[in-house]
Structure 1
Amino acid sequence: MDRYESDLVSQWQADGPQRKGYRQLAEWFNVLLLRREMDRAGLSTLGDEAESKYERLTADGTVAEEVANSLGNDGLPIEQLRDDFVSYGVIRTHLKECLGEEVSFSGGDWEQDTIEIVQNHAVDKIAEAVSSLQSKEQLTAGGDLEIAVTVELECDNCHTRIPIERAMRRGHVCTCTE
């Protein structure tokens, strides 16, 4: 972990959409571990090969076991590797308690940054669930799927509902109180 601490901190403290949350950092770190083991075993890690293997390895069901068996047959210590994978809680504890780091929001854009981070996290989690449903053949599509998450705001008085991005551009949700 020591070797990657500066990268971990810089990604956590980055500005705007480049900032990664704890779950994204845990995934990033776990992919690094998997890539290292794949390199040691002489397996290809070009492109997104390690990311793809990690995604399938951590999925539910038979796909994960097939990937685990394949990697194990290729010489990876798969059970040790799974034990070494970290959770987002470990990342959070390491950053805050072990390293004593904090995220400081610069300027007045912390609200927009937070909304973007949460939307990106929602997209990632939905993509994982959709991928799992596709693996289980409970969901099919003719091509690749694009996932979009829209946050909407609704006024309790007049029930106007609009996307948060539009409300922020306009500076209001509705005009019922004006």
Structure 2
Amino acid sequence: MSNGDQLAVTGREACGCKVGRTARKYALPDLDDRLRERRADGASLRRLETVVNEAVLRAALAATDADVFRDVAAIYRSLTDEETSAGVRTETEAWLSRVGVDPAELEGDFVSYQTVRTHLRQCLDVDTDRNSSLSVDDAEGTIEWARSRSEGIVGRTIERLEDTDGFHSGSVDVTHVVRVSCTDCGASYPVERYLDRGGCDCDAQRR
């Protein structure tokens, strides 16, 4: 068994589906845990498709000797977004080749959301049905995760500007404030207040 295979086995026999094989190939031992956690937080199958494929892309870039400072999410969109022009996709594939990643092999290892669904059901015993409603606590957790991620991205982006000529910044603390506005009644609340009060007053106004 290779080192990648050993890393991918976490107390159980590794599955043989494409997600399992890809996790072993790119040494992603925590991928299953991430999929379980994100699914529990309400992530859609299409979002989990992106989670897997961005992890594969990140691992492929990390395995090269090149210094890579590009946004993995942006690279992934350039390769897969239907609205990406052929020119941008070609440029991205050429850049991958230059840094030591075979774009054809990489894209062949990307998975679809149907493949992720099969992996969740058959390999991880995760229910992929979405008949149950989302609780307020679950919503708060998902929103807080998204806000923290957004703050982290903004903070890291600003830090990368420190060496840019003409740009000066001290120690920064990034805060992302989310507000929810109802276009029906015109009310606007910080998202925490909106959740705590059970939404806006539209239902009361209809009575």
Partner of 1:70: 95
Q: 1:108 to 1:68 in 2, by over 3 A?
A: closer
What do residues 9-29 of structure 1 show as CA deviations (whole Å, max 9, x unaligned)?
122113xxxx43222221121
Query: Are 2:49 and 2:112, in contact at CA under 8 Å, matched by a contact in 1?
Result: yes
Identify which of 55, 68, 74 aligns with 1:32: 55
Q: Counterpart amino acid of 1:11?
A: R
Give, in whole Å, the separation in 2 of the partners of 1:5 and 1:102. 14
- Secondary structure of the 1:169 match is coil
List alignment gaps of at least 5 residues for structure 1.
121-147, 155-159
Give, in whole Å, the separation in 1 of the partners of 2:104 and 2:134. 45
Give 1:71 shift. Answer: 0.9
Partner of 1:96: 121
Partner of 1:133: none
Identify which of 43, 46, 53 aligns with 1:23: 46
Query: Which fold has the larger relative contact order, with Cα–Cα distance below 8 Å and residues 6 or more apart in sequence?
Result: 1
Report how many residues are paired: 136
Instruction: Give the RMSD, CA atoms, in angstroms.
Output: 3.9
Partner of 1:139: none
Give me the TM-score of the superposition, normalised by structure 2: 0.50
List alignment gaps of at least 5 residues for structure 2.
1-18, 21-28, 147-177, 189-193
Query: Are 2:79 and 2:89, in contact at CA under 8 Å, matched by a contact in 1?
Result: yes
Q: 1:176 to 1:32 in 2, by over 3 A?
A: closer
Give me the TM-score of the superposition, normalised by structure 1: 0.56
Give 1:172 shift. Answer: 4.0
